[in-house]
A and B are shown apart, each in its own frame.
Chain A
Amino acid sequence: MKALLLLHTLLLVSFAELSTLTVDDELVILDGNLSAGNSEDNCVVNDPSFGIKEEEVVEEQEPPPVSGHFNPFQKESLMDYPFEERLVLRPLPRNFLLASFQFNITSDELSIDKGASHFNSYAHNTVFPRSISPILEHTNTRQLHLRFTHGLWDAESWGQLPHNGSKSGGTGVEIWAVLESDSKQAAFAQWISLANSLSGLFCTSINFIGSDKTSYPVFSFQPSGENSLPLFNENSKLYLVRAALANEPICTENLTPFLKLLPTKGKSGVASLLDGHKVFDSHWHSLSIDIETRCDDTSCKYHMEEFVEMVVHVPNALDRAEKPIPKPVEEHELRCDESKPHDVFECFPLPESTDREFELSKLFGRYILGTNLVSRSPSRVCAEVGPNWSALVKVGNTYFSTDDNCFEIKGDELHDLYLQTSDTAQVASSEDVPIYVSRSLTGYGQDGGGLRTVFKNPSNETVSLVYFESLPWFMRLYLSSLKIESEDGLQLDDVITNTFYLPAIDRQRPTHLEYNLKVPPNSTFALSYQFDKALLKYAEYPPDANHGFDIESAVVTVLSPLKYEMRTATLLLSLSTPDFSMPYNVIILTSTIMGLAFGTIFNLMVKKLVTVEEADKSNGSVGSRIIFKFRERIKAIFKKKVPLFDESKKNQ
Chain B
Amino acid sequence: MFSRELQVVVACLGSRFGVSLVFPLLQQQLDKSVEFSTPVTSYRSLEEGVFLLRNDFPVYSGGVVHHAPLLVVLMSALGNSALTSLLYACADALIAYQLIAMTRCFPKSKIPAWVPGALYVINPLVLLSSVSKSSVVFTNLAITTALLSAMQKRTLVAAAAIAMAGYLSLYPLLLLVPIFSLLPQEKLKVTFICLIVLSGLLLSSYKINNDDWNYLFSTYGVISTFSKIIPNLGLWWYFFVELFEMFIPFFKAVFNLFVVSCIIPFSLRFHDQPFYAFVLCLGWITLTKSYPTLGDGGFLLSFVPFFQPLYGYFRYSVISTLLFIHVIVLSPIFYHLWVDLGSGNSNFFYAISLVYALAVSTVLVDLVWAMLRIEYDNGTPNLNLKLTSI
Contact = CB atoms under 8 A, between A and B. Distances in A.
Interface of A: 444-448, 473, 476-481, 499, 501-506, 508-509, 530, 532, 534-539, 576-579, 582-583, 586-587, 589-590, 593-594, 596-598, 600-605, 607-612, 615, 618-619, 650-651
Given A538-B243, A539-B245, A611-B386, A446 B287 contact: no
B368 A596 contact: no
A594 B241 contact: no
Interface in B340-390: 340, 342, 345-347, 350, 354, 357-358, 361, 364-365, 368-369, 372-373, 375-376, 385-390
B386 A650 contact: yes
Contact of B346 (A503, A532, A534, A579): A579
Interface stretch (B91-99, B167-175, B231-239): B231-239
10 A-B pairs closest in CB distance: A503-B63, A480-B51, A505-B62, A597-B361, A607-B389, A586-B242, A583-B242, A503-B62, A535-B229, A480-B48
A506 B227 contact: yes
A651 to B, nearest CB: 7
A496 to B, nearest CB: 11
A504 B63 contact: yes
28 contacts: A446-B339, A447-B32, A448-B32, A476-B63, A478-B44, A478-B45, A478-B48, A480-B50, A503-B62, A505-B62, A506-B228, A530-B44, A535-B231, A538-B243, A538-B244, A577-B346, A590-B235, A594-B258, A594-B288, A598-B258, A598-B261, A601-B365, A603-B389, A609-B387, A609-B389, A611-B385, A612-B386, A618-B390
Given A480-B51, A502-B58, A504-B62, A610 B242 contact: no
B387 A583 contact: no
A578 B238 contact: yes
Chain B interface extent, by class: 35 or more
Q: Identify whether the interface residues of B are mostly helix, strand, loop, or mixed.
A: helix
Interface in B239-296: 239-245, 248, 258, 261-262, 265-266, 269, 287-288
Contacts of B244: 538-539, 583
B230 A597 contact: no
Nearest to B262: A601
A30 to B, nearest CB: 56
A255 B37 CA distance: 50
Nearest to B244: A583
Given A503-B52, A534-B229, A605-B269, 13 more contacts: A502-B58, A503-B62, A537-B241, A538-B241, A539-B244, A579-B345, A596-B361, A597-B361, A597-B365, A603-B389, A607-B390, A609-B376, A612-B388
Contacts of B58: 502-503
B364 A597 contact: yes
Contacts of A607: 389-390
Given A590-B235, A597-B361, A502 B61 contact: yes
B229 A619 contact: no
A539 B48 CA distance: 30
B376 A605 contact: no
A612 B350 CA distance: 38
B241 A578 contact: yes
Contacts of B248: 537
A477 B64 contact: yes
A604 B389 contact: yes
A445 B240 CA distance: 22
Interface in B36-79: 39, 44-45, 47-48, 50-52, 55, 57-58, 61-64
B286 to A, nearest CB: 11
A516 to B, nearest CB: 14
Contacts of B241: 535-538, 578, 586
Contacts, number: 185
Nearest to A499: B55
Nearest to A509: B62
A538 B237 CA distance: 11
Contacts of B230: 447, 532, 534-535
A289 to B, nearest CB: 32
Contacts of B386: 611-612, 650-651
A507 B375 CA distance: 53
A585 B32 CA distance: 28
Given A478-B48, A578-B241, A583-B243, A503 B61 contact: yes
A608 B368 contact: no
B303 interface: no
B338 interface: yes
Contacts of A539: 244-245
Interface of B: 32, 34, 39, 44-45, 47-48, 50-52, 55, 57-58, 61-64, 227-231, 235, 237-245, 248, 258, 261-262, 265-266, 269, 287-288, 338-340, 342, 345-347, 350, 354, 357-358, 361, 364-365, 368-369, 372-373, 375-376, 385-390
A597 B32 contact: no
Contacts of A478: 44-45, 47-48, 64
Nearest to A589: B354
A593 B354 contact: yes
Given A479-B51, A506-B227, A612-B387, A601 B64 contact: no
A593 B358 contact: yes
Contacts of A530: 44
Given A480-B48, A503-B62, A605-B269, A593 B357 contact: yes
Contacts of A576: 231, 338-339, 346
A594 B375 CA distance: 27
B165 to A, nearest CB: 23
B369 A587 contact: no
B243 A447 contact: no
Contacts of B57: 479, 501, 503
A476 B230 CA distance: 11
A478 B37 CA distance: 15
Contact of B373 (A477, A481, A587, A609): A609
A445 B365 CA distance: 37
B240 A579 contact: no
A597 B354 contact: no
Nearest to B234: A590
B339 A578 contact: no
B229 A537 contact: yes
Contacts of A537: 229, 240-241, 243, 245, 248
B62 A506 contact: yes
Given A499-B55, A609-B387, A611-B385, A582 B347 contact: yes
A471 to B, nearest CB: 12
A585 to B, nearest CB: 8
Contact of A503 (B47, B64, B227, B368): B64
Contacts of B357: 593-594, 597
A329 to B, nearest CB: 41
Contacts of B265: 602, 605
A594 B235 contact: yes
A340 to B, nearest CB: 46
A36 to B, nearest CB: 66
A504 B47 CA distance: 17
A578 B230 CA distance: 11
Given A503-B62, A535-B241, A603-B389, A447 B345 contact: no
A604 B365 contact: yes
A230 to B, nearest CB: 33
A115 to B, nearest CB: 35
Contacts of B63: 476-477, 503-505
A586 B351 CA distance: 10
B292 to A, nearest CB: 13
Nearest to B227: A506
B368 A590 contact: no
Contacts of B229: 534-537
Contacts of A446: 339-340, 342
Contacts of B258: 594, 598
B389 A447 contact: no
A532 B231 contact: no
A47 to B, nearest CB: 64
Given A499-B55, A596-B361, A609-B373, A481 B239 contact: no
